[in-house]
Each structure stands twice: as structure tokens, then as C-alpha cells.
Amino acid sequence: MSTEDITTPAGNATKERLYRSALFLCAALSVAVTISIIFVLTRDAIDFFGIVSPADFFTGTRWVIRSSFESSSYGVLPLVSGTIIVTVVSAAIALPVGVAAAVYLSEYASSRARAVLKPALEVLAGIPTVVYGYFALVYVTPFFQTFGVPLGTFNALSASVMVGIMIIPMVSSLSEDAMSAVPDSLRQAGYGMGATKYEVSTGIVIPAALSGIFSSFILAISRAIGETMIVAVAMGSNPQLLQLFDPAANLIEGNQPMTAAMIQLVTSDVGGGGPAYKAMFAIGLTLFVITFLLNLASNRVAARYKEEYE
């Protein structure tokens, strides 16, 4: 192709076509990868459900994998229980702390303090998750034990606390961005009515940024649901049903969420084509559907409470 002056309309049009094609390929690649993952999960999950009844899988209360298929149980509810425990406890830690940090960074911190604190907070997101798991096992559990908390070596409390700390930057960063996007005219109107900074922050800024804050919640919860290494290292591999009438027992004892069960299956000596191996794909598909529904709910809520300013 001959060299063409890029300042001419024809040259600009050629550049735009190249940019559009490159961006389209990137978008198409991401869609193709997603479709491929769904296809692989669905294909092998269907094979698994041809061996194990879907009713037994989704309503079973025991998850026991042995070399003999007859002595194994493939009920996913204990794994779902472990995932729920980690998600709820980590969310109870990360959501309020993350929003409080976002309010401080957006409304109270000076420009110099924000330039230091926000990157420092986001460093937590760059720490390898296996380091979080090791920290929970070696330091957090003994710390709780010194206060008389009857924790075993592997327990759900320490793992959930570290997952909560890990997702704080996601909540705080996205929430702070949403709050910073709120027009200053709304803040000035509140101050003009005699409101204090706290009243403006909680009564004007947070409601105006609610869609973005809620989206950060869903993304952080989805991240907690899909966390693997922290729970695999610190939570153990003893899947148990959620004990509704003894909540403390859910935290002080070990458990196993869906992600850790998938690691155990893929690293065990089970046969590559056996039901235990295929169960990994059924768990993965279940996890995919859960996170997809959460993201769908996030988009619906964000669209419902989205504020538009001129």
C-alpha cells in the first residue's frame, strides 16, 4: 500500500478503519473466549449429569469423593454452604469499610492525602491471594485463638476475614469514583441549606452515587464467590452444610467452598474421564450461573438507580 499523507481525509478514514477493526477483534476475542468457556463447562457438565442425577447434585447434602463411585456422594449443597459463609462474612467486612474509605477519600481527604492513600489502599488488590491465605493460616488464626476463640487450624472465620480485606480496594475504589462523579453543585446546594459535611456526604453524595456503589458491591461479592487460594489454604477441605441454628459453628470449623473443591478434584488422582473429574465442570457451571445472575442483578439495579446530570 502506498504511503499516504495521514492529514488527508482519505488517510484519516484509513486510520479509522484500522482502529475500528482492531477494536472489533479485541471485543470479538473476549466474546469468543467467554462462549468457549461456557461451551466446555456445559458439555462436560451434561456428561456428568448423565451419570449423576441433577436432582441428587443440586439437593444432595453430602459431598464425599472416593475411588469407588458407589461410595461417593455428589451433593453440591455443602459446597454452596461454604461459599455462602465466605461471601457473607467477607461482605460484612468489606462493604462498610470500603464505603467509609470511599467517603473519606472523596469528601474529606485533601488532594495530597488522596494521592497517597488511594494507591496505598489499592496495593492490597495486588497482593497474591496465596499470600493472603498463608497469612490467615499462620497469623490470623493464632491471633483469634489468643482471645479465646476456639478455632481449629483450618476454619472459615480467618479465611473469610482475609477475603474481606482483599476485596476492600474494589469496593472503595469503584465507590470513590462514583462519588467523585457527583456534581459539586449538589454539594454546594446542601451546604447552602446549612448541612454539615457529614450530612452532605451521607444524605446527598451517597444517594446520588448509589448505582455505582451498588455495582461495586456486586463486583466485590462476585470476586469473593470466585476466590480460590485463600479458602483452599486457610479453610480446609471438610464440606459441611450451613448450620442455621448455630451460626458460630459455621465460622470456627473448617469447610470447603466450590472453588476449593474444584482445586481438590483437579489435583487428585481421580480418573480423567470419571464422574469425579466431570463433577468439576458441574461445579464450575453452577458457579458461573451464580456470578452471572449477580452481575445481571447489578446491571438492573444500576440502571434503575442511575442518575443523569447535565
Q: What is the pTM of this model?
A: 0.84
Q: Cβ(47)–Cβ(275) under 8 Å?
A: no
What are the structural domain ranges in the chain? 9-49, 73-305
Q: Tell whether domain 73-305 is in CATH 3.50.50.60.
A: no
Give me the amino acid identity at 60. Answer: G
Helix (H) or strand (E) holding 73: strand 73-74
Question: How many separate helices (H) and strands (E) can be counted in the chain?
Answer: 15, 2
CB atoms within 10 A of CB 53: 12
User: If you write DSSP's letter for every residue of 25-65 in order, what string do you get?
Assistant: HHHHHHHHHHHHHHHHHHHHHHHHHTTS-HHHHHH---EE-
80-84-90-95 Cα dihedral, nearest 10 degrees: 130
Intra-chain end-to-end CA distance of the chain, in Å: 46
Residue 74: strand, helix, or coil:
strand
Say how many CA atoms lie within 13 Å of 277 toward its Cβ: 9
pLDDT of residue 305: 64
Question: What is the per-residue pLDDT for 25?
Answer: 93
In angstroms, rounded to a whole number, what is the distance separating the alpha carbons of residues 93 and 169? 12
Q: pLDDT tens, position by position, for the chain (310 residues)?
A: 444 454 567 667 788 889 888 999 999 998 999 899 999 889 989 988 988 889 889 988 888 887 777 777 888 999 999 999 999 999 999 999 999 999 998 888 888 888 888 888 878 878 888 999 999 999 999 999 998 888 888 999 999 999 999 999 999 988 988 898 888 888 888 888 888 888 888 888 888 888 888 888 888 998 899 888 899 899 988 888 888 777 777 888 888 899 988 888 877 666 566 788 888 899 999 999 988 888 887 777 767 766 655 5
Q: Name beta bridge partners: 73.
A: 64
pLDDT of residue 265: 83
Nearest to 94 by CA among 208, 224, 181, 206: 224
